[in-house]
A and B are shown apart, each in its own frame.
Chain A
Amino acid sequence: MPSFPPWLRKTLATVATVAATILGLLFVTFMIGRVMPIDPVLAVIGERATQEQYNQTYIDLGLDQPLLVQFGIYVNDVLHGDFGKSIRTGQEVTTDIARVFPATLELATLGTIIGIVLGVPLGVVAAVRRGSWIDQLARFVGLIGYSMPIFWLGLVGLLVFYGILGWVAGPGRLGIFYQGIVEPITGMLLIDSALRGEWTVFKDAFSHIILPASLLGYYSLAYISRMTRSFMLEQLGTEYVTTARVKGLSEWQVVWGHAFRNIRIQLITVIALAYANLLEGSVLTEIIFAWPGLGSYITTSLLANDMNSVLGGTIVIGTIFVGINIFSDLLYRFFDPRSK
Chain B
Amino acid sequence: MSQAGVITEIETRDKDALDTPWNVVVHNDPVNLMSYVTMVFQRVLGFPRDRATKHMLEVHQKGRSLVWSGERERAEAIVEQLHGYLLLATIEQAEL
Task: Tell me whether A and B are bound partners.
Answer: no
* Residues of chain A at the chain B interface (Cβ within 8 Å): none
* Residues of chain B at the chain A interface (Cβ within 8 Å): none
